[in-house]
Structure 1
Amino acid sequence: MKIDPQTAPDLQKIRDLIEGMHIAMLTSIDADDRLVSRPMSVLKMDSEGVFWLFADTNSTTVNELDRVNLSFSDEEDSTYVSIAGHGEVSEDRSLVHALWSPLMKPWFPDGEKSPNLALLKIQAQTAEYWDSGHSKMVRLFAMAASVVASKPIGMGEHGTIDLLESP
């Protein structure tokens, strides 16, 4: 994923947490009001905190963008980020060209010229994160201490960032 320098400290925090995570679970609400999740390759986080993904215009995903969530997970480092917002479809061909990768060809056989290729623009509104920031051994000791104390001890940082969306 390409990540641009961020314009705000809150966005920089999210950038730092998700750097190196390329796949997110995109959750939306389908026509029957059910939550539906699917793994998606996140192409870019721009300088304003907008996330860009490729999508097939024939998929139901493009009609389920009123409320969405992107969930990033790095189990190795115990870092988890949940980003809630809304999305829209963009057919900006210059951005498609800039973000195109041959790795997308199995889904879009005609490459960046595929007629059903579009971009999803996900605008973040809130983010919640959990970040242990410790080695596995330290996390194991913290877990053991938490069990003994019957409360979380040294389990890392948890936070919520509201209104990532620009006015």
Structure 2
Amino acid sequence: MNAYASIVAHPREALQDGLEKVRAGMLGVDGSSQHMQPMTHFPDWEANRIWFLTSKDTDLVRELKSGAPAKFCVTDQEHGFDACIKGHLTEDLDRAKLDEYWSPVAGAWFQGGKDDPKLTMLRFDLVDAALWGSTDSKVKFGFEILKANMDEDKTPDVGAHTILRF
């Protein structure tokens, strides 16, 4: 299903589905001089959290202050889905979550496996998310563009936007 209809009807499910279809997004700390960084996400929807596995050597971790406001953004052109999630980011090496999310792919990044001294986790406690979904209908898109060009007071209606609070 295209994200447009899902965001209108069920925004929380649209976010969950959107993050399942995309394996990585961009994570950054508000007010930091660092650029956002690509990260693979591991949602924990029951706790309204997203987890990330990373190295203690990254600029992000070195400059992170516990509970810092942060944003995680994902985009999926194929399904017309975009999201920017706000929350609070904390370094938290949770061994139970590490066991849950560990995989051969994660292991490829850490020479010492789950016991690598550089391995850490980031816990992203969710506050809210802005979701956008665009239509996948070329006919609707064309019709909306035509209407907007015929009436200077109209803009094309080709998507949905909502804010989801946790």
Query: Structure 2 length as normaliser, TM-score?
Result: 0.78
Greater relative contact order: 1 or 2 (C-alpha under 8 angstroms, separation 6 or more)?
A: 2
Check if 1:67 corresponds to 2:54. no
Quote the residue 1:42 is aligned against. Answer: 41
Cα displacement (A) at 1:35: 5.2
Q: Which amino acid aligns with 1:61?
A: L
Change (3 A) 1:80 1:58: same
Q: What are the residue-to-residue correspondences of 1:104-123 with 2, within 5 Å?
A: 104-123=106-125
Change (3 A) 1:153 1:97: same
Counterpart-to-counterpart distance in 2, 1:142 and 1:101: 47
CA RMSD of superposed structures (Å)? 2.3
Counterpart-to-counterpart distance in 2, 1:146 and 1:25: 35
Cα displacement (A) at 1:139: 5.9
Question: Once superposed, which parts of structure 1, at least 4 consecutive aligned residues long, lie more than 4 Å away?
Answer: none
Q: Which amino acid aligns with 2:55?
A: D
Query: Structure 1 length as normaliser, TM-score?
Result: 0.78
Structure index of larger Rg: 2
Check if 1:56 corresponds to 2:59. no
Question: What SS does structure 2 have at the residue aligned with 1:76?
Answer: helix
Cα displacement (A) at 1:93: 1.6
Change (3 A) 1:47 1:141: same
Structure 2 residue runs without a partner (length 5+): 1-9
1:129-161 deviations in Å (ceiling 9; x for gaps): 1112x3252464156236514443331110112
C-alpha contact 1:55 1:118 (8 A) present in aligned 2: yes
Check if 1:159 corresponds to 2:158. no
The answer to which structure has the higher helix fraction is 2
Question: What SS does structure 2 have at the residue aligned with 1:19?
Answer: helix
